[in-house]
Structure 1
Amino acid sequence: MVLLLVAIVWGSSYLSAQTATSALPVLLVLLVRYALSALACLGVVAFPGRGPRRWTREELRAGVPLGFTQAAVLVVETYGVAHTSAANAGLIISLTIVLTPLLDRTGHRGGLPPVFYAAAGVCVLAVGLLMAGNGFHAPRLGDLLMLGAAVVRAGHVALVGRLTAGRAIRPLHLTTVQTLVGTVLFLPLAAHGLPALAHAAPATWTQLLYLALFCSVFAFLAQTWAVQRTSASRASLLLGTEPIWAAAAGVALGGEHFTALTGLGAVMMIAGTYWGQSVERAHRATALPRTAVHPTQEDTRCPATTPTTPTPTPTTPTTV
């Protein structure tokens, strides 16, 4: 239930980001979101009884570059959702599920099976239908930006796995570093717009607080807590419903509507991403035991860096 709530919160974040960016500049929205998230994370880290509060060298080494890549994801993503529908944004960004295994080679060194690429092809066709909207035309800027955001997010997710695998890194401390890095990055870019916050409507502030506290801090903490109490497969299945909730929020709350083409594209996107995810998960489960029993020459040279247990495919941890 908690993971399903996380998926609903993340799905609704596209509409919230779209509403906030209609009232304030994109970079200012990102600055406020990062700053509020950083303050909340620092408050949780400083809370008594949570163990050592200082950051380790490994957490800083991983958190700083990941802060840059996460900021890149949110820049492209937020500009994209500002120029397309919330439903399209949530559906197109789910391409991350099939793009990440192409960049993250951990667990499938022998290459992915051909059926995975068939699933990816279904997703690409679905993107074309979503971009078509009411009829085939030149791709819209927002849809292209969301497509780029899916690629950047997949790279970020793969980098998260590469920088954190086999290291004693506390997720909360890592996230806090990323939010601090994002705040520092966006402050000089959006500082001139800070006076506009004094005139922002209460509804705009509600959206900003929702994005920072619920879509970022709460969703991350809830995901971490829940994944420890269920299976990786069930977690992936529940979190994978995010695009469904994004489309539902856009239609029910944002006044958006589906044509026949976009409806078909939505169905194909959800089916393709679930298909690709299941193929990759099954391939990972069978590939890793083989490499553990019959290590390659590279495995023999670098035994300290070779995982001996399956590493679960990262779900989409970068919140919108």
Structure 2
Amino acid sequence: MFRTRRTDAVLLLVAAVWGSSYLAAKTATHALPVLVVLFARYLLSAVVCLALVAARRERGRGRGWGLRRRRGRVRGRGLYSRDEIRIGALLGGTQAAVLVTETYGVAHTSAANAGLIISLTIVLTPLLDRAPGGDRLPPRFFAAALVCLLAVGVLMSGSGFHALRTGDLLMLAAAVLRAAHVALVGRLTDGRAVRPLQLTTVQTVVGAALFVGPAVGGLPALGRAGGPVWAQLVYLALFCSVFAFLAQTWAVQRGSASRASLLLGTEPVWAVAVGIGLGGERFTVLAALGAALMVAGTYWGQAIESRSRSSSRSRRQGAGAAGAAARPLASALYVPGEQS
């Protein structure tokens, strides 16, 4: 129970950091092109991650820092295993696709539509997270997810809704990509002894490599950026990327992608809180109602998901115990020479 609560607390902290990222990204993109902001964010993140990996290697020398986990052993030698490079490269590509699609989508639609559409991740992730032959989540989980969507609609309704346009379609694509990314984190790391820091390092290096070409024309503007802009870039890199990516991978490995998506779905609540506390926005009745609905829907959904996962685990353990008990009985009934 303590382990579950600790994991949930980390995911809620990630949601809070991502909620605050809107204000930081808005400030940065006013001074720099979107692709330059994304490149700087990934480059700073990659430098920090590489430094952390090198520091950890120095501390581990002489103690035999080869990783062993209960789930298995890391294949390969050196700083990164083959699994970490392969999985990190794939997740780096999907994460970069999420960020670029989401950033351009927000720039071409209203905050109301963007917030509502991206929150479809809450519903899409459990659909993509189902393993072949795995147990289905109960319908009540999706009812809880719909409560969360309703909460986002209430939170964002102050800006008004409009017909679908290019930005809305981009946000829909971002919601699908984000759901696929979260589901992939859970599926690709399940049963593999991959280290979150190494995985995050590969992701950030891949992201920086993907954005360096498109951003090269705007690099002079990055060199002329002032202190406040660099402060926003450092915050986006260290907290919204390095910390958030590490914490998300760590939490999904210890829980499930569905549960992680639901808790990360509280991001709009934190975005409203940051807007009220730092952006000068007013605290309205709709904001209070939306926050209350989001907390209720999240708590309900995580309770349902936890019970469903525990029930599935118990059934599998019971089936395994029954099979183990049947095997000695079958052996006792077998009489040599009676089989044709």
Same fold judged by TM-score > 0.5?
yes
Shift of 1:200: 1.4
Q: Does the 8 Å contact 2:112/2:156 carry over to 1?
A: no
Name 2:299's counterpart in structure 1: 274
After TM superposition, the structure 1 stretch with the greater mean CA deviation from structure 2, 122-131 or 244-253, is: 122-131
Shift of 1:289: 2.0
Letter in 2 for 1:60: I
Name 1:204's counterpart in structure 2: 229
Query: Does residue 165 of the first structure (1) align with residue 190 of the second (2)?
Result: yes
State the alpha-carbon separation in 2 of the partners of residues 109 and 194 from structure 1.
48
Q: Does the 8 Å contact 1:76/1:145 carry over to 2?
A: yes
State the alpha-carbon separation in 2 of the partners of residues 85 and 187 from structure 1.
29
Q: Deviations over 1:241-267 (max 9, x none)?
A: 544322111122123346555654444
Shift of 1:108: 8.8
Q: Does the 8 Å contact 1:27/1:186 carry over to 2?
A: yes
Using structure 2 for the length normalisation, give the TM-score: 0.72
The runs of at least 4 consecutive aligned structure 1 residues that moved more than 6 Å come to: 84-92, 222-225, 235-240
Q: Does the 8 Å contact 1:38/1:180 carry over to 2?
A: yes
Structural mapping, 1:235-274, within 5 Å: 242-257=267-282, 261=286, 264-274=289-299
Name 1:103's counterpart in structure 2: 128
Q: Does the 8 Å contact 1:131/1:140 carry over to 2?
A: no
Q: Does the 8 Å contact 1:15/1:86 carry over to 2?
A: no
Letter in 2 for 1:160: V
Shift of 1:280: 1.7
Tell me which of 66, 75, 81 is aligned to 1:56.
81
Identity rate, percent: 65
After TM superposition, the structure 1 stretch with the greater mean CA deviation from structure 2, 111-120 or 81-90, is: 81-90
Tell me which of 16, 32, 35 is aligned to 2:43.
35
Name 2:24's counterpart in structure 1: 16
Letter in 2 for 1:18: K
After TM superposition, the structure 1 stretch with the greater mean CA deviation from structure 2, 83-92 or 28-37, is: 83-92
Q: Deviations over 1:6-28 (max 9, x none)?
A: 55433312211122112211111
CA RMSD, 1 decimal: 3.5
Q: Does the 8 Å contact 1:243/1:270 carry over to 2?
A: no
Shift of 1:33: 0.3
State the alpha-carbon separation in 1 of the partners of residues 223 and 40 from structure 2.
12
Letter in 2 for 1:69: T
Structure 2: unaligned runs, 5 residues or longer: 1-5, 67-77, 321-340
Shift of 1:206: 0.6
State the alpha-carbon separation in 1 of the partners of residues 129 and 47 from structure 2.
32
After TM superposition, the structure 1 stretch with the greater mean CA deviation from structure 2, 245-254 or 72-81, is: 72-81
Name 2:329's counterpart in structure 1: none
Structure 1: unaligned runs, 5 residues or longer: 296-320
State the alpha-carbon separation in 2 of the partners of residues 16 and 129 from structure 1.
23
Q: Structure with the greater relative contact order (CA < 8 A, sep ≥ 6): 1 or 2?
A: 1
Q: How many residues align?
A: 291
Letter in 2 for 1:251: I
Q: Does the 8 Å contact 1:99/1:151 carry over to 2?
A: yes
After TM superposition, the structure 1 stretch with the greater mean CA deviation from structure 2, 269-278 or 9-18, is: 269-278
Query: Are the structure 2 counterparts of residues 153 and 247 from structure 1 closer, same or farther at C-alpha, using a change threshold of 3 Å?
Result: same
Using structure 1 for the length normalisation, give the TM-score: 0.76
Q: Deviations over 1:259-312 (max 9, x none)?
A: 5556544443443333223222221111122134337xxxxxxxxxxxxxxxxx
Query: Are the structure 2 counterparts of residues 274 and 56 from structure 1 closer, same or farther at C-alpha, using a change threshold of 3 Å?
Result: same
After TM superposition, the structure 1 stretch with the greater mean CA deviation from structure 2, 214-223 or 64-73, is: 214-223
Letter in 2 for 1:65: L
Shift of 1:151: 2.8
Letter in 1 for 2:59: G
Query: Does residue 294 of the first structure (1) align with residue 294 of the second (2)?
Result: no
Name 1:68's counterpart in structure 2: 93
Letter in 2 for 1:28: V
After TM superposition, the structure 1 stretch with the greater mean CA deviation from structure 2, 162-171 or 250-259, is: 250-259
Query: Are the structure 2 counterparts of residues 107 and 163 from structure 1 closer, same or farther at C-alpha, using a change threshold of 3 Å?
Result: same
